Structure 1
Amino acid sequence: MIDTVTGREVQPFAVQLKALLDVESRYQPKLSGLRLIEGSQDNGLRMTTRLRELEVKDLLSLTRFFGFCSETFSLAISLLDRFLSVMKIQPKHLSCVGLCCFYIAVKSSEEEKNVPLANDLIRISQNKFTVSDMIRMEKIIMEKLFWKVKAPTALRFLRLFHSHIQEQLDAESQTILSLERLEAQLKACHCSFVFSKIKPSLLAIALLCFEAQEQHDPEHNDKISDAMTALQQQLNVKDGDLVCVRELVGKCLSDYANTKCSKPNSQRLRWTISGRTARQLKHSYYKIAHLPTIPESGC
């Protein structure tokens, strides 16, 4: 049976938070495995951080192309990092692993009517493997992850924290922290390997703190700061850890905005669709042909 995290629709914040924190460590990628990837040379024989980051950007392109939700992308990255941290795979197999993690996330997060055929995913990405290869790889991934799919992602924490903080602010202060902008920033962070080693809850609160600091709104900063401090205490996060991750977030988003960086918002889909494939694909598959930018303002 696929593991699930307790539902959160009608539960108080404290109950929701405890449910997520209780299982967070179980869904973390193995640090030892991530360090092996981090220390690997880019010689085409071993997995490297660069290859992982390129694969994540491809999955982000696919997410946007099909119009899938942010949770699908975050879950796919969670599955990918967890699998890469427990299995030594060759670079030539990475595209199959990545697409299988993406497909598992799609089937877990999206409505059944919106789930594409595996054959369509393969054709769009122009990969050489077959549906049978995907089925075998998907089974391997699920077995190595003990069939635990529904991870408490950074996105789930981010949405929970944002909602909790908004409840403590007046209507004017609530416009400071834009969830749309925060989710776009989180996607940029997912594209950077360094955040694979950071707990989702810590990444989520660091993103909120960074965004609150960036808004430079003295009139509302005190209210938001008080809410952030209370949340940090509930999470039992040390000041030093929060500052460190907040700085990493700042550097990542700065690189993302740098015109010299190969950032997702200027990266076109590299997949070419043949006429035959185009005739077979559903019309809804042509929603977006590029990756999202981060909204300029918090309003």
Structure 2
Amino acid sequence: MDAFKLMKELRVNYEQEAHYLPKETGLSLIESTTEDDSRISAKCRDAKVEDLWSLTSFFGYSTQTFVLAVNLLDRFLAMIRIQPKHLSCVSVSCLHMAAKVTEEECNLAPTGDLIRIGQCRFTVSDLCRMEKIVAEKLNFKSKAITALTFLHLYHQIALSHSTDRKEKLSLEKLEAQLKACLCRISFSKAKPSVLALSLLRQEIEGVRSEDMLEIAYHIQRHLKITDGELLLWSERVARCLSDYASPECSKPNHKKLQWIVSRRTAQNLHSYRVVPELPTIPEGCWDESESEDSCEDMMSSGEESLSSSLGSDAEGPFFPLHLRRQKHRQPLHA
């Protein structure tokens, strides 16, 4: 695609991106929710997104699948008040919906496998019912304009000006960094075009290319993104990636799943469990004064986070060397 068509497509996506943004008021309410509250907190949401990243890596799904799943999840959470016990069902439903749109049919994981590997306590019928609720509430058809949409366009525009920059500007690296940012709910408030440009500028500054910096500036002017807005999110992106690279940060393992488990856990993973269906989920919106859920809690209080055992891109060559941790594998219990 030539530069003119790319810039035209860029403008069209920029004008439509607002339709796929989560409601900021809903996101703010999630951020203000305390962990001991009966509603979804920011920490709870972020942990679940890391689980989605892990599942995405395990099943070999694309970055597009993960980003779309997070977009659907955030838009739904910002619109509908749900309790933590329903979050697993909502998040896995969003991942399954995204995969059906972006992946080849032959690569789709069986629904039952998705539930078992995700260590979820709901049935296939629960998942199907939740998918229908999410699709109806979001009026979801087959696409969404996300930061990844702009990241790909920016990358193509940069390469269209010169072919010798392919090694300097890695799209794979930019995608990995975008996934790291999306694990924090605060970045869901950013316009996708601005978040993607912030990531691009940081990478360009890293390779110290004046020519490519000029390309980024040209994109900024074309979309009329203000210096203040870009600076704000560029600083947040830099801080996020710096924190993410620190050894203190708990992050998913980047490799494919190599799960060492006990015999009991292995039996649970490899056999279908008969579990009762989740009770009906109240669909109260964030702007309603009350939305009490009297359902019994079907989730296990001891349910582990997948991010401690499944794979992602967190420790790939796109982050500093000190980020990469040694794997400590424990023997299989007899």
Task: Tell me which interval the TM-score lies in, with the shorter structure as reference length.
Answer: 0.7 to 0.9
Compared CA separation, residues 62 and 11, structure 1 to 2 (3 A): farther
Q: 2:101 aligns to what?
A: 108
Q: Which residue of 2 aligns with 1:232?
A: 220
Classify the secondary structure of the residue corresponding to 1:264.
Answer: coil
Aligned counterpart in structure 1 of residue 237 of structure 2, from 221, 240, 249: 249
What whole-Å deviation, never above 9, does each CA across 1:189-238 have from its counterpart, x for those lacking one? 111111000011110000000111123x3xxx221111111010011100
Match of 1:166 among 150, 159, 164: 159
Map Cα deviations across residues 21-76 of structure 1 (whole Å, 9 max, x no partner).
23211111001111110111111511111001000000000000001111000000
CA separation of 1:271/1:135 partners in 2, compared to 1, >3 Å: closer, same or farther? farther
Partner Cα distance (2:238, 2:50) in 1: 19
CA distance in 2, matches of 1:205, 1:271: 40
Please list, as runs of the form range in 1=range in 2, the aligned pairs for 1:1-299 lying within 5 A after superposition.
Answer: 12-169=5-162, 171=164, 173-215=165-207, 217=208, 221-265=209-253, 274-275=266-267, 277-278=269-270, 289-292=310-313, 293-296=315-318
CA RMSD of aligned residues (A): 2.6
In structure 2, what residue type is equivalent to 1:258?
S
1:29 maps to a residue whose letter is P
- Higher fraction of helix: 1
Looking at structure 2, the residues matched to 169 and 153 of structure 1 have their Cα atoms a distance apart, in angstroms, of 26
Distance, in Å, in 1 between the alignment partners of 2:2 and 2:141 is: 21
Instruction: Name the counterpart of 1:283.
Output: none
Counterparts in 2 of 1:155 and 1:214: CA distance versus 1, 3 Å? same
Greater CA drift, 43-52 or 75-84: 43-52
How far apart, CA to CA, are the structure 2 residues paired with 1:165 and 1:46?
Answer: 43
Q: Secondary structure of the residue that 1:262 maps to in structure 2?
A: coil
Secondary structure in 1 matching 2:317: coil
Whole-Å Cα distance in 2 between the matches of residues 146 and 279 of structure 1?
35
Inter-partner Cα distance in structure 2 for 1:25 and 1:114: 31
* Matched residue SS, 1:12: helix
| Shift, 1:147, TM fit | 2.4
Q: Which runs of 5+ in 1 are unaligned?
A: 1-7, 281-287
| Partners of 2:11 and 2:223 within 8 A in 1 | no
* Paired residues of 1:57 and 1:191 also in contact (CA < 8 A): yes
Q: d(CA) in 1 for partners of 2:85 and 2:4?
A: 45
Residue aligning to 1:5: none
Distance (whole Å) between structure 2 residues aligned to residue 87 and residue 124 of structure 1? 26
Normalising by the residue count of structure 1, what TM-score does the alignment of the two structures yield?
0.86
Contact 2:181–2:237, Cα closer than 8 Å, also in 1: yes
Judge conservation of contact 1:44–1:91 (CA < 8 Å) in 2: no
- Equivalent residues, number: 279
2:241 partner amino acid: L
Cα offset, 1:169, TM superposition: 3.0
SS at 2:150's partner residue? helix
Contact 1:182 1:207 (C-alpha < 8 Å) held by counterparts: yes
Change over 3 Å in CA distance of 1:267–1:84 after alignment to 2: farther
The one-letter code sitting in structure 2 at the alignment partner of 1:295 is P
In 2, distance between residues paired with 1:94 and 1:289?
A: 19
Tell me: CA distance 1:80–1:247, structure 2 relative to 1, closer, same or farther (3 Å): same
The 1:9/1:130 distance shift into structure 2, 3 A limit, reads farther
Partner of residue 292, structure 2: none
